[in-house]
Structure 1
Amino acid sequence: MFKPLIVFIGLRYTRARRRTRFISFITLTSVLGIALGVTALITVLSVMNGFEAELRERILGMTAHASITGLNGELHDWRALEGPLRQEPRVLGWAPYIEAQAMLNSERRVSGTMVRGVLPDYEPRVSEVAKRLVEGSLEDLKAGQFGILLGSELADYLGVSLGDKVTVITPQVTATPAGILPRLKRFTVVGIFRVGMFEYDRNLALIQLDDAAKLFRMDDAVSGLRLKLDDVFYARQVARELGPKLPDQYLVTDWTQAHTNFFKAIQTEKRVMFIILLLIVAVAAFNIVSTLVMVVTDKRADIAILRTQGMTPRNVMGIFIVLGTVIGLAGTLLGGVGGVLLACNVETVVPAIERLFGIRFLSADVYYISELPSKLLWSDVYKITGVAFLLSILATLYPAWQAARVKPAEELRYE
């Protein structure tokens, strides 16, 4: 049997006759179901990719890609490490820091926070805090003037603004004739930053490195060096390669150790969403089963005639596999195109829907990311469309097998 005949008959069955309009309607719903499922899956995964990329950018914009610290939590003579770091091609910049927990007291409230001492000249090399300032400037942190930069949420909680005073209370204590008293120092608010992450906007304050050394009694030591790399995904590799090049008293860590659980949770959520939304595609794909079963029932006499003319059961199966494959391919392609177009225009479509219906999906008062970001990965598109098409082909096997079992003698007995 000439193979294109199988394709010709299978394609012919996709066109409706007057008495088979209902079957064609079911076929259309199967195509649209697959298309909607694929579109939804591509769009949702693209939005989740966008959220992950946005969060990674914000987190890694404030935290170190890698850090060098001492085994006892202190790093002496950090400038001696600048030579070896310059020889590392993936290290773009470094900056010393002093970090410790403290209490911030204003006239209204008290809040615990992380206080980080930085050098204004070095800090822009490793973080984006200078770009995230909504008031003030990083250069306003000058040694001996005891200025402080606060996260926007922390400033709001304490009820302070530019020029106000806050008292920093450290865990270290001072022995006096009156007893043991905590160390405290008055600082002037010289800037406010907003990163868009609660971890930093509510729980971080920046002061000048020399002021931090005096406040926390670090003398000439720092807590460590923060490194910025050319590619954050090479952080673990750089940390492993850099460690043996430094003396034994130094410890090199990377951002994956500090935030690994957070990004693993996002990856787990993406996998769960993929499985859940894939069920929509699976339901639509297996609608092909009911469509083909009805086609087989309607075409039993035609199948019997084809069998009497020499068509083998395998050829009959091929006809209905072609029919189901065309349905699945049409839905997959339609959904793939729709998903790519929607994913690429989410940031335009969502605001238009919000304006049309007067609603707000992500309120800026509640969520730090008030706009839906989207990042289309072609690997996701290929995976989704491939799985959808595979499910469509699998859905054709049972009806095609039933068609191949039609017995010409029984079907044509009363014809």
Structure 2
Amino acid sequence: MFKLPYELFLGLRYTRARRRNGFISFISLSSMVGIALGVTALITVLSIMNGFQEELRDRILGMTAHMTINEQSDRLEDWQSLYNQVINQPHIEGAAPNIMEQGMLTIGNKVKGVAVRGILPEFEDQVSDIRKQMMFGSLDSLIPKKYRIVLGSELALSLGVSLGDKVTLIAPQGSVSPVGVVPRIKRFTVSGIFEAGMHEYDSGLAIINIEDAKKVFKYGDSVGALQLKLDDLFRVGEVKAELGNVVDKVLYMRDWRQQHSNFFKAIEMEKRMMFIVLTLIVMVAAFNIVSTMVMVVTDKQSDIAVLRTIGATPMSIQLVFIIQGLVIGV
């Protein structure tokens, strides 16, 4: 019949046995509870933080691409040629042109600063989930020369507009006149409202057709950038290197980590600080275990003397209390 080593037997026995000193029993129980609560809090909080980070990342990347490519002038000539070069490259799932500019929307006496994004609706599905986030209207309503606009839900609410209302877009790229530079002004009809679930987009993003954006912001035949969506968002470095060997001109590439670096760095810093605080809690509980074991050894002096008398080695006796400490800690 299998027999437990006496060190293991005694270590487990001492863990369950009643002690002469009730205070030691209380400290031992407190140490076990402290370790359990500390580790539980550490695992729970870090799991929540990781889930929070992933959810925010999915929401952000649902509205933006994994990578953007443009020239050093912040414009991109002949985007169709570049599109044909990159679309069949490994790890690239989709690409779409866009224009990103700043402007102001006005209606009556209400004025709101916005980020204006010019898109091609038929390409946008390749790089973002805007179509899935539409509350009212449709992206397909953004037809060239119709001058229609899609607004974030909070932006539409703050302006007090709904489908069919007209708003005025003021672009900083003005026209020179005898009295100075006059801002470009164009009337747009609200044809859609989206809700991304992020205040940054819902309260400050307006979407128009890319051809209308070219005229309002004086882009001519250029676009602002070509957006890319990857099959794995963590392979941006590899894709950058591959594209550098494929394209035939100098391009400026930015990935999602660079575009939202401050935001993700803040989350990482918060995770580190939470880890440090919770680790300190676990360490305090671990110190309680050490103090408990010191008191247990003192309490068991007579038992240790008996064990030494019957031939137990100092190493075996140490192992008994190490096993007891491990049981309390685990």
Q: TM-score, normalised by structure 1?
A: 0.75
Number of the residue aligned with 2:189: 188
Q: What is the 5 A alignment of 1:199-238?
A: 199-238=200-239
Please report how far the alpha carbon of residue 243 of structure 1 lies from its aligned counterpart in structure 2 after TM superposition: 2.2
Number of the residue aligned with 1:135: 136
**SS of match in other structure, 1:102:** strand
Q: What is the 5 A alignment of 1:287-326?
A: 287-326=288-327
Unaligned 5+ runs, structure 2: none
RMSD, matched Cα: 1.8
1:67-107 Cα shifts (integer Å, max 9, x gaps): 11022121111111232213312110011111111111111
Q: In 2, are the aligned partners of 1:108 and 1:159 still within 8 Å (CA)?
A: no
**SS of match in other structure, 2:235:** helix
Q: In 2, are the aligned partners of 1:243 and 1:251 still within 8 Å (CA)?
A: no
**SS of match in other structure, 1:150:** strand
Moved over 6 A (4+): none
- Alpha-carbon distance in 2 for matches of 1:40, 1:147: 51
Please report how far the alpha carbon of residue 26 of structure 1 lies from its aligned counterpart in structure 2 after TM superposition: 2.9
Number of the residue aligned with 2:282: 281
Please report how far the alpha carbon of residue 325 of structure 1 lies from its aligned counterpart in structure 2 after TM superposition: 0.7
Q: In 1, are the aligned partners of 2:94 and 2:230 still within 8 Å (CA)?
A: yes
- Alpha-carbon distance in 2 for matches of 1:254, 1:290: 52
Q: What is the 5 A alignment of 1:331-346?
A: none
Q: In 2, are the aligned partners of 1:23 and 1:291 still within 8 Å (CA)?
A: yes
Please report how far the alpha carbon of residue 198 of structure 1 lies from its aligned counterpart in structure 2 after TM superposition: 2.2
**SS of match in other structure, 2:16:** coil
Number of the residue aligned with 1:82: 83
- Alpha-carbon distance in 1 for matches of 2:106, 2:97: 26
Q: In 2, are the aligned partners of 1:108 and 1:158 still within 8 Å (CA)?
A: no
Q: In 2, are the aligned partners of 1:48 and 1:270 still within 8 Å (CA)?
A: yes
Please report how far the alpha carbon of residue 21 of structure 1 lies from its aligned counterpart in structure 2 after TM superposition: 4.9
- Alpha-carbon distance in 2 for matches of 1:105, 1:203: 13
**SS of match in other structure, 1:103:** strand
Please report how far the alpha carbon of residue 253 of structure 1 lies from its aligned counterpart in structure 2 after TM superposition: 2.0
1:250 to 1:68, Cα distance in 2 relative to 1, 3 A = same
- Alpha-carbon distance in 2 for matches of 1:285, 1:203: 50
1:18 to 1:35, Cα distance in 2 relative to 1, 3 A = closer
- Alpha-carbon distance in 1 for matches of 2:52, 2:16: 44
How many pairs were matched up? Answer: 328
Number of the residue aligned with 2:12: 11
1:298 to 1:110, Cα distance in 2 relative to 1, 3 A = same
- Alpha-carbon distance in 2 for matches of 1:71, 1:244: 18
Q: In 1, are the aligned partners of 2:78 and 2:222 still within 8 Å (CA)?
A: yes
Number of the residue aligned with 2:121: 120
Amino acid at match of 2:48: V
- Alpha-carbon distance in 1 for matches of 2:237, 2:165: 42
- Alpha-carbon distance in 1 for matches of 2:164, 2:271: 45
Q: TM-score, normalised by structure 2?
A: 0.94
- Alpha-carbon distance in 2 for matches of 1:298, 1:239: 66
Number of the residue aligned with 1:354: none
Amino acid at match of 1:238: V
Number of the residue aligned with 1:44: 45
Q: Does 1:173 align with 2:174?
A: yes
Amino acid at match of 1:35: A
Amino acid at match of 1:119: L
Number of the residue aligned with 1:28: 29
Amino acid at match of 2:18: R
Amino acid at match of 2:195: R
Comparing 169-178 and 130-139, the one that deviates more: 169-178
- Alpha-carbon distance in 2 for matches of 1:135, 1:194: 9
1:97-143 Cα shifts (integer Å, max 9, x gaps): 11111111111311221111101101111011111111111111111
- Alpha-carbon distance in 1 for matches of 2:289, 2:170: 69
- Alpha-carbon distance in 2 for matches of 1:174, 1:109: 24
- Alpha-carbon distance in 2 for matches of 1:242, 1:96: 17
**SS of match in other structure, 2:132:** coil
Q: In 2, are the aligned partners of 1:174 and 1:180 still within 8 Å (CA)?
A: yes
**SS of match in other structure, 1:131:** helix
Q: In 2, are the aligned partners of 1:136 and 1:192 still within 8 Å (CA)?
A: yes
Indicate the structure with greater strand content. 2
Amino acid at match of 2:16: R
Comparing 219-228 and 102-111, the one that deviates more: 102-111
